[in-house]
Structure formats: C-alpha cells, structure tokens
Structure 1
Amino acid sequence: MVGDPATELAHTAWPLVPSDVLVLLPIGSTEQHGPHLPLDTDSVIAHAVARRTATALPTALVAPTLPYGASGEHAGFPGTVSIGHEALRMVLMEAVRSLALWSGRIVLVNGHGGNTATLDTALRLLRTEGHDVAWTGCAVPGADAHAGRTETSVMLHLAPDQVRLDVAVAGDTRPLAALLPDLVAHGVRAVSPSGVLGDPTGASAAEGRSVMDTMASAAVRRITAWTVDHRGRLTDPEHPPTSRELDHQAVRP
C-alpha cells in the first residue's frame, strides 16, 4: 500500500528531512499465512501501524519496511523466507546505527512475534551504546496466534484484494501455550498442515479497522510516554502488559 508521502522516508528528498526527526522502522516477515493470506501479511500490518502512528505524532517519518525476519518455524511452507536471528540482529543494529547519525528517537514497529527475541537482544546492545531507540509490537489482547480471525480481519481492512476467503480454513485452535512444545520441536507444519493457528471464520473489515485503531492508538501512547523496559520495549501507560502477555508475544508465530 502507498502511504501518505508526508510521512514516508522513502518518498522524501534529503533536504526535506527534519532535524532530530522521530523515525519509525517497521519490521515484518515473509512467511506463510495459511492458504488465504499473502506472505507479506506481517509486513503490511507493521507498515500500516507505523504509518498511522506517524500521522498522529509531530515530525515523524516511516522508514521502508524490513520484509525479512526470523521465521524458521514456518520453513516447511513454500514461499517463506527467513534470515534467522543472527542475521536479523545485525541488520537491526546496523540500521539503527545508521539512522542515529541524523535522526532523533527511533522506534522499531514489529509485526512478527518470532522477531521479538532478536529485538530484545539487539535493543539492549544498542541502548548500551547510547542510542535513543526502543521497540513496540502490533499485538492486541485476545488475538489468535497466526492467520486466524485477527490477522484476517486486519488484512480485509488493509488489503482486501489480497485475502482469499474462499479457501480460508480453520487450523489448530488450542491456546499457544499448549502448542508451543510441538512448535519449537517440529515447526508450524507439524501442528497445522494449513499453516493456520486459529480460525478465520467471522473475520471482517470492520473488525480489522477496530484492531488497527487499537494498535495505532497503543503505539502513540507508548511513544508519547517513552517508558522503556529492560528489553528495550516501550510500555503502555494505560495497559501495562502482564507476564503472560509478554511470554505470548515472545513466542507468537
């Protein structure tokens, strides 16, 4: 999707880049999202959250989305491209070091739960170097794990022409905690041959719009408050995460 040129770094000539600008860097993935959603689902959502967040903040720019992440658990599905944790960590660190030469604060907007362990490691190192950087996620309370109703609804709102509801199927709907041992040991395909963890039944663009509003509003609150935890993660002053939610985000496919 083409965003507002006023907020897109890629569409800005260098003399027009404000000094000490806030930069939002969306981090996505290229991985299977069941038979009905495109491989760039996480990237599309991360970019949309970053773009909507930038429009609500003074002097913010959205950097081009990083389309590859740590998606090894999806390796059993054609189309998935994973660069792994070590390569992702180095890309994130070098990107932030480069951005820090001319920007102000930097926020990494993460759309893929499998990236979180790498974000934690990279952000801790970058903050010890003195960089004013943090990360925030795109999760919402009560969301299903992967390619279910939540992500399907968001994509129906953001990119309806890319959603194939006619081939959507329900996957394993057990809680993520119950699936985790098999996911870690054998990957997503061993748990769900379709790649879906959840059930897209009932997904709608209206629900997706509401989810997007929730994610963008939370990102604005976190950035405005700028309270960074030991992981380098921005916390929400209105809705502090529980330990269970943090554990869920750390392993979500």
Structure 2
Amino acid sequence: MNLADLAWPELGERPLLAVPLGATEQHGPHLPYTVDTEIAVELCRRLGRARPEIVVAPAMPFGSSGEHAGFPGTLSIGQEATELVLVELVRSADAFAGVLLVSAHGGNAMPVRRAVRTLRAEGRNVRAWSPDGPAGDTHAGRLETSVMLAVRPEAVRTNRFQAGVTRPLPELMGRLRGEGVRGVSPNGVLGDPAGASAEAGRATLDRWTDGLLDAAASLAGDGMM
C-alpha cells in the first residue's frame, strides 16, 4: 500500500511503515541526479508488492550530499538536518507498529545511524536498511548503472559512459573528506559503468529485495505487527 493513495480511515490498525530515503546529487555524466531516490522507491515498491500489508511512504528526496557539492545541481540538507528530519519523522509515526528506513544513499549512513540510535533509545521500533555493493564501485559505476538500466533505462546516457576512480572506497575516504568527490574523481564516478546491463540490474534488485524482506521481517518480529 502506498500512503499517498490512502485516506486516513483506510490505513488500518498499526501496520509497518517503509520510508524510501534518497538524495539529489550528481551521478556522473550518464545518470540523473535522482538515482538514489529512484532505487529506494523501487526497493520499497518491491517490498510493498511482496508484503501488501506494509505501507510505503512518499520518498524523502534530499539527504546529506555535501561530498558532491563540487558538482552543479547537487542539493544537500547536510548531516544534522537529515538526522533531525528523520528523528521527527519517526516520532510522528506512532500510528505504525514500526518504521523501516530504506536508504539508498551512502552519504546518509551516519545521520541515519544516529537517528535510529536516538529513536530506539526512546523505545521506538525502528530499523534502517541499505543496499550493499563492491568497495570499488560505489557511485555511478557498473552497479548503479545496471540498476538504473533495469529501473528507468531511458534515463541512462549510454553514450557517455566514463570510468572514474576504481580504488576501494576506504582508500579514498581521507581525500573524500577533505576534497569531496570532485577532488578525487573529476567526472563524479567512483567505479566504471562499462559492462552495465539491465539483466545484472534486475539480479541486483532481486538480491537487495531479499535482504530488505529479511529486515522487514525482523522489524515486524520486534514490534508488534
């Protein structure tokens, strides 16, 4: 069920709520700004299809994307604001048995983690889940490009594929903190989109969906569905 399609008497009694968390930030020369949001929405759509009793909230399309500020068009609300928004959002969701935050943007990891810690300390049933990926293919590389070819192929500029930096993310973190993504990868890619395919994207989405379903089952077991 999509919350956007319901009127309040149709909500039912204390369902689980899934909230897609994304970002609006550059994704190299070949992908749109909305990649992370679109992936989170697609995963929640799949979750809702598999578990129709779960309510899916409208997506939160802005997050902590300061590392991409060197590229025009990136919109970021920063870590503190992201954390505060999530804390207040989940506090407002007491009509639900639990809240699952589905974040497809790595830059949201710290504020999401802090928000969940605060909320669980208050006794709220909340968890966060994020998709995984290779350490050397973390942004606009083969993985995300394949997923976007599966989700919205018309948005992928296949004639603009360019390799970026392919070193593992942990090796880049020091420079990323100091210089941002632009200082590390002038084209904004951390990975290489070459070889991306819709078939690989669908397989990745299937695997991620299995993990998300496990997270939802764990949340339901904690809290009362």
Q: Same fold (TM over 0.5)?
A: yes
Task: Name the residue aligned to 2:90.
Answer: 96
The offset of 1:140, in angstroms, is 3.7
Matched, 1:151 2:140: no
Structure 1 counterpart of 2:162, from 169, 181, 206:
169
1:149-205: CA deviation from partner (whole Å, max 9, x where unpaired):
000000000011111011121101111122111111100001111000000000000
TM-score calculated relative to the size of structure 2: 0.94
Contact 1:25 1:109 in 2 (8 A): yes
Structure 1 counterpart of 2:115, from 122, 140, 158:
122
The offset of 1:15, in angstroms, is 1.2
Runs of 5+ consecutive residues of structure 2 not aligned to the other structure: none
Contact 1:18 1:59 in 2 (8 A): no
Task: Name the residue aligned to 2:27.
Answer: 33
Task: Name the residue aligned to 2:189.
Answer: 196
- Count the aligned residue pairs: 221
The offset of 1:226, in angstroms, is 3.7
Task: Name the residue aligned to 2:153.
Answer: 160
The offset of 1:25, in angstroms, is 0.3
Task: Name the residue aligned to 1:13.
Answer: 7
Task: Name the residue aligned to 1:113.
Answer: 106
1:196-249: CA deviation from partner (whole Å, max 9, x where unpaired):
000000000000000000111111012213499xxxxxxxxxxxxxxxxxxxxx
Give the Cα separation in 1 of the matches to 2:15 and 2:133. Answer: 27
TM-score calculated relative to the size of structure 1: 0.84
State the identity as a percent. 48
Task: Name the residue aligned to 1:248.
Answer: none
Judged with a 3 Å threshold, the aligned counterparts in structure 2 of structure 1 residues 144 and 227 are, in CA distance, closer, same or farther, namely farther
Give the Cα separation in 2 of the matches to 1:142 and 1:68. Answer: 24
Structure 1 runs (4+) deviating above 4 angstroms are: none
Matched, 1:67 2:64: no
Task: Name the residue aligned to 1:240.
Answer: none
Give the Cα separation in 2 of the matches to 1:143 and 1:216. Answer: 22
Task: Name the residue aligned to 1:238.
Answer: none
Contact 1:107 1:133 in 2 (8 A): yes
Give the Cα separation in 1 of the matches to 2:135 and 2:190. Answer: 14
Matched, 1:43 2:37: yes
Contact 1:38 1:163 in 2 (8 A): yes
Runs of 5+ consecutive residues of structure 1 not aligned to the other structure: 1-6, 229-253
Contact 1:140 1:214 in 2 (8 A): no
Q: Secondary structure at the match of 1:99?
A: coil
Contact 1:49 1:138 in 2 (8 A): no
1:109-165: CA deviation from partner (whole Å, max 9, x where unpaired):
001011010011111111111111111002245671100000000000001111101
Task: Name the residue aligned to 1:187.
Answer: 180
1:16-75: CA deviation from partner (whole Å, max 9, x where unpaired):
111111100011000000010000000000111111112212510110000000000000
Contact 2:136 2:169 in 1 (8 A): no
